[in-house]
C-alpha cells in the first residue's frame, strides 16, 4: 500500500532438494496463484533456494511460508526449519490466516541492503505432515503498536480536585468494600482513597485482592491457592507477592477451577480472566503454546495461549542468523502474554459477561502442552479485569 515491493516465489521455482520426486496438488480447494499448484512434502525434509530479485532497498522484510492444510483449517503447525549451514533449528507452532484464505508463518526478518537476496532453508515437516506449500513470500514488515498495560495506572491529573469530584469516581458502596479490607484502610481525602482503591488491597481475610481500573470498574484477583489443584503444584512462601504465597507447577498438565460471586465485580460489564505468572530464566528454549479446553463449554475444541511471545529470528547483513531476536511484531491477540507493571507476566484466558443481578461466576479450564512439560511455571493467581 505504501509502494514497497512484495515478492512471492512459487515453491516449484525454489524447491531444490527432497527425499523423492516432488508431488504437486492442483485440487480446486487448494487453488494456487501458480499453475503448478501446491507442493505436498508428506512429512519429509525439503530444501528451498529462494532468490528475491525485486526488493525495495533499506526496508525490513519478513520471509514467510505460505501454505494450506489438507482437509483441515487448524492453525497449529509444529514446523521446524533452519538456514542451510546453521546448526540450530527454529520452531513455529501457530500460523496466521491471510485475507486470501491462505495460512502463513513468519520465518525470518532482515534488512534489505540491495534488491536481491538468496536464502537456502531446510524445512522439517515430520510434525506437520498435512501441509501443502504454495510459496515463499518476501513482505515488508508491518509494524504493530504494542498494547501497554495501563489498567492499573491511576489518573491523578483530573479536571477538578474537589472532594465532590473524587467521591463521584468512587464506587457507590465504597464504604462496604473498605470494611472487607484485611488490614484496614486509612485515608485523609477522597483523592487519597481513590488512589488506594486503584492500587488495590487484600479483602475477605486476605483471600482476594480488590482494585479499581482506570474507568472505575472493579477488578479482582484470586490467589493461586483458590484456583489451582494442590496436588499439581508446590506451594512456596513469597512475602513480596500480594498473597504471600505462589505455586510452582510440578505436573505435565494443570487445571484452573473457581466459583465466586459477581458482587465484587461491576455489573453488566465484559470481563476477561488473566493468568498472573512468571517463568524461570532457563525455561524451555522451544516455545510451544499451551492448549486450553473450557470444560464448561459444550465444545471440547481447544484454543492456544503462549507463555512467551513468539519471536522471529533476524538474519544479519552477511545472512548469518543472529542469536537474539526482534521483539514480536505479531498483531496483538488474546493468547499472547504481556508484561505487567508489577513485574509479573499475564496472559488472557477467558471472557464472560456480568449481569445486572448478582450471579455465580464459574470457570473450569484445563491446560496441556504440546511438548508435555509445564514444570517451572510459577503462578501468583488469576485476575478478573474489565475489557
Taking only the tens place, the pLDDT of each residue in 138-153 is 999 876 544 445 444 4
Sign of the dihedral defined by the CA atoms of residues 166, 172, 175, 178, in that order? negative
Cell of 6: 512484495
The whole-angstrom separation of Cα 168 and Cα 157 is: 15
Query: Which residue do the cell numbers 491511576 mark?
Result: 154
CA distance 219 to 213: 6
Helix H or strand E segment including 175: helix 174-179
Q: Provide the pairing of β-strand 90-94 with 76-83.
A: antiparallel
Q: What is the pLDDT of residue 153?
A: 46
pLDDT, position 332? 56
- Which stretches in the chain have pLDDT values below 70? 19, 143-160, 317-333, 371-372
Nearest to 62, CA basis, from 14, 102, 7: 7
The string of pLDDT tens digits covering residues 266-295 is: 999 999 999 999 998 888 777 888 999 999
Instruction: For residue 313, list its beta bridge partners.
Output: 325
User: 56-88 pLDDT, tens per residue?
Assistant: 999 999 999 999 998 887 888 889 999 998 998
pLDDT score of 322: 52
Strand spans (E) along 11-160: 15-18, 24-25, 38-39, 45-52, 59-69, 76-83, 90-94, 96-97, 103-112, 117-124, 131-140
Closest to 365 measured CA to CA, from 304, 295, 305, 277: 295
Terminal-to-terminal C-alpha distance of the chain: 32
Which domains does the chain carry?
Answer: 7-140 (2.60.120.260), 217-386 (2.60.120.260)
As given in the structure block, the three cell numbers for residue 224 are 493461586
Amino acid 378: pLDDT:
95
Q: What's the pTM value of the predicted model, to 2 decimals? A: 0.82
Amino acid at each position: 500500500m505504501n509502494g514497497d515491493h512484495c515478492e512471492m516465489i512459487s515453491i516449484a521455482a525454489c524447491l531444490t532438494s527432497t527425499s523423492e520426486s516432488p508431488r504437486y496438488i492442483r485440487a480446486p480447494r487448494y487453488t494456487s496463484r501458480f499453475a503448478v499448484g501446491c507442493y505436498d512434502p508428506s512429512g519429509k525434509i525439503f530444501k528451498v533456494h529462494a532468490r528475491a530479485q525485486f526488493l525495495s532497498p533499506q526496508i525490513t522484510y519478513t520471509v514467510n511460508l505460505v501454505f494450506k492444510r489438507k482437509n483441515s483449517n487448524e492453525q497449529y503447525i509444529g514446523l521446524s526449519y533452519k538456514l542451510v549451514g546453521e546448526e540450530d533449528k527454529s520452531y513455529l507452532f501457530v500460523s496466521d490466516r491471510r485475507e486470501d484464505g491462505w495460512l502463513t508463518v513468519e520465518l525470518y526478518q532482515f534488512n534489505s541492503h540491495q534488491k536481491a537476496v538468496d536464502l537456502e532453508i531446510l524445512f522439517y515437516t515430520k510434525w506437520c505432515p498435512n501441509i501443502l506449500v504454495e510459496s515463499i513470500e518476501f513482505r515488508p514488515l508491518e509494524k504493530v503498536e504494542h498494547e501497554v498495560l495501563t489498567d492499573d495506572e491511576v489518573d491523578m491529573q483530573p479536571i477538578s480536585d474537589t472532594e465532590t469530584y473524587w467521591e463521584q469516581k468512587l464506587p457507590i458502596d465504597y464504604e462496604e468494600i473498605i470494611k472487607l479490607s484485611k488490614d484496614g484502610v486509612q485515608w485523609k481525602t477522597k483523592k487519597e482513597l481513590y488512589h488506594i482503591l486503584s492500587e488495590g488491597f487484600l479483602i475477605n481475610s486476605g483471600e482476594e485482592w480488590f482494585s479499581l481500573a482506570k474507568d472505575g470498574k472493579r477488578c479482582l484477583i484470586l490467589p493461586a491457592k483458590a484456583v489451582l489443584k494442590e496436588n499439581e503444584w508446590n506451594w512456596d512462601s513469597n512475602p513480596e507477592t500480594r498473597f504471600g504465597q505462589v505455586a510452582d507447577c510440578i505436573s505435565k498438565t494443570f487445571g484452573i477451577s473457581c466459583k465466586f460471586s459477581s458482587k465484587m465485580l461491576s455489573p453488566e460489564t465484559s470481563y476477561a480472566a488473566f493468568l498472573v505468572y512468571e517463568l524461570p530464566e532457563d525455561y524451555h528454549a522451544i516455545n510451544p503454546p499451551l492448549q486450553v479446553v473450557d470444560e464448561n463449554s459444550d465444545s471440547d475444541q481447544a484454543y492456544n495461549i503462549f507463555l512467551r511471545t513468539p519471536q522471529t529470528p533476524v538474519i544479519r547483513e552477511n545472512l548469518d542468523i543472529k542469536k537474539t531476536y526482534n521483539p514480536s511484531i505479531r498483531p496483538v491477540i488474546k493468547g499472547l502474554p504481556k508484561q505487567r507493571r508489577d513485574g509479573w507476566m499475564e496472559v488472557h484466558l477467558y471472557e464472560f459477561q456480568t449481569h445486572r443481578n448478582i450471579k455465580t461466576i464459574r470457570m473450569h479450564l484445563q491446560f496441556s502442552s504440546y511438548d508435555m512439560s509445564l514444570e517451572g511455571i510459577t503462578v501468583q493467581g488469576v485476575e478478573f479485569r474489565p475489557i
